[in-house]
Structure 1
Amino acid sequence: MNRIRAMFEQCKARNEAALIGFVSAGDPDIDTSRALIFSMLDAGLDLLELGIPFSDPTADGPAIQLASQRALKAGMHVRAALKMVKEIRERHPTPIVLFSYLNPILAHGPEKFCKDAAEAGADGVLVVDMPLEESRELLPFLEASGLVAIPLVAPTTPEERMREICKNAKGFVYLVSMTGVTGSGGLDPEKAGALARRVRALSPVPVALGFGISEASQVKALAPESDGIVIGSAFVRVIGETADKEKIPALLGEMTRDFKAACKQGR
């Protein structure tokens, strides 16, 4: 059984939403990045979204754009990110989804990327700028490697297209909770919850809400409406704003515990 599916089933059995955390590989530097990831996993993170930094992350807000810049400056690239996946997998069974744009994958070679990612221990891939139609070019390589493609659904996705995306979904559906870029403010929990209920009714796989969720109170409010909660910019901001790098792993570990507690309290 794929680790992603097993994780969601375990969370469901415990009556809690899964906590999915995003960080950019190599941010703020490779050693600190490795340490903070282990801290988050030790604190109870259910699934790691590991970003492969890209120079032009158009769907991401300022916090994650800056994280990509810091990681690239630190020397992070696709091969180094896959090496980090292997190091994580040697210590943790936690599912790992590689979060990327299409350019780095094409530069590495789609077939080679999927093979290398699977061998390193990744479980899935989320390509932000790859629509359903273009995903068919990558899907055979993903399937051959045992990886799942995580699809995105947005509030602006038409009903018919939403049905098509959900029908073909594997792993889980990443539901964008609001229009805008990652880290946007102004989240309306009622609207996000209603959207989640709508998509869950269509999806044969779990649905995880992301974008704009940055506080434990928001997690608590949305946990009953979704199978998972994705936190990204909140973690990344702390990385960028903490001058003393040695403090970052402990800070992110504490945030992970708080968010995970909210995933349980909301149920």
Structure 2
Amino acid sequence: MSNLKSVFKNRKAFIPFVVADDPDFDTTVANVVALANNGADIVEIGIPFSDPVADGPVIQAADLRAFENDVTPTKIFAMVAEIRKQTAIPIVFLTYLNIVFKYGYDAFCQKCQALQIDGLVIPDMPYESRTDLAPFADKYNIDLIPLITPTSGHRIEKIAQAATGFIYVVSSLGITGQRDSFDEKLTDLVTEINKYTTIPTAIGFGIHTPEQAQHMATIADGAIIGSAIVDIVAQYKQDAPTHLAAYAQTMRQALDNATEKV
């Protein structure tokens, strides 16, 4: 499969998330490059969707702004092509299954491989529904990155055993958005996952401060930062890259201070 797993070997992974085409094509490219140059290990690019069931109001608003720019998967692939002229950082898409289905499973995965997209996070694709897409992801060496939640229960074993790349551990019930508290059993959840796989884990949903990121990286192998990044883009628009660079540096330092699992 891809090289995503190797990203986690030497340090805790910082995985920021940006919404494609928010606020525009060129700024999206610059945002990803700024994050890559200032401590990110993987960048997650969200493909805007009309019914993003896992996303809170901050990301939904960014999706709407992108739609005003006539965003399409083809346009996003062009953005990644521009990004690839400036950085080789691993990239994963967060998308919803209908987008991939409409584009065509084979064509979408082939395009991802051509642009060195390493994985797909698909919140509305349960483990049991992955059989149609998985052969094409395997064909083009694209990791299908599963989400495991505090309510995954008896399904954790089969989800973890089938995982490649890394496992997206959902910190809390509900949708994305900045939080001040998280599920108290996250440590137990990650411990349970690690019984069944050596694939790295990264915790997301709600992390926005360096202190939170550092704490999550003592539990798991990395931290995913979404709404806080999207908020910065919403606030600063075309000036966001400079602010994202500074924010990324603080997150990088926090994660570097989290060296051991509890």
Q: TM-score range by the shorter chain?
A: over 0.9
TM-aligned CA deviation for residue 33 of structure 1: 1.2
- 2:25 equivalent among 23, 30, 41: 30
Aligned to 1:62: 57
Aligned to 2:151: 156
Describe how 1:73-222 pairs up with structure 2 within 5 A: 73-158=68-153, 160-188=154-182, 190-222=184-216
TM-aligned CA deviation for residue 116 of structure 1: 1.1
Residues in 1 aligned to 2:83 and 2:8: alpha-carbon distance in whole angstroms? 20
Is the contact between residue 51 and residue 98 of structure 1 (CA under 8 Å) also seen in structure 2? yes
| Cα root mean square deviation, aligned | 1.5
- 1:46 equivalent among 41, 54, 66: 41
Aligned to 2:225: 231
Residues in 2 aligned to 1:6 and 1:91: alpha-carbon distance in whole angstroms? 21
| 1:259 aligned onto 2:254 | no
Aligned to 2:5: 5
Q: Which amino acid in 1 is paired with 2:36? A: L
TM-aligned CA deviation for residue 238 of structure 1: 1.3
SS of corresponding position for 1:91: coil
TM-aligned CA deviation for residue 144 of structure 1: 0.5
SS of corresponding position for 2:34: helix
Residues in 1 aligned to 2:58 and 2:77: alpha-carbon distance in whole angstroms? 23
Is the contact between residue 172 and residue 183 of structure 2 (CA under 8 Å) also seen in structure 1? no
Tell me the percent identity: 36
Aligned to 1:249: 241
SS of corresponding position for 2:173: coil
Indicate the structure with greater helix content: 1
Residues in 2 aligned to 1:195 and 1:257: alpha-carbon distance in whole angstroms? 29
Is the contact between residue 14 and residue 42 of structure 2 (CA under 8 Å) also seen in structure 1? yes
Q: Which amino acid in 1 is paired with 2:251? A: F
Question: 1:125-155 CA deviation, whole Å, 9 max, x = no partner?
Answer: 1111001111111000001011111011000
Residues in 1 aligned to 2:80 and 2:205: alpha-carbon distance in whole angstroms? 24
5+ residue gaps in structure 1? none
Is the contact between residue 25 and residue 50 of structure 1 (CA under 8 Å) also seen in structure 2? yes
TM-aligned CA deviation for residue 224 of structure 1: 1.4
SS of corresponding position for 2:8: helix
Indicate the larger mover: 18-27 or 72-81: 72-81
Provide runs of 4+ in structure 1 moved above 4 Å. none
Residues in 1 aligned to 2:68 and 2:3: alpha-carbon distance in whole angstroms? 32
Size of the aligned set, in residue pairs, is 259
Q: Which amino acid in 2 is paired with 1:2? A: S
SS of corresponding position for 2:61: helix
5+ residue gaps in structure 2? none
Using structure 1 for the length normalisation, give the TM-score: 0.92
Using structure 2 for the length normalisation, give the TM-score: 0.94
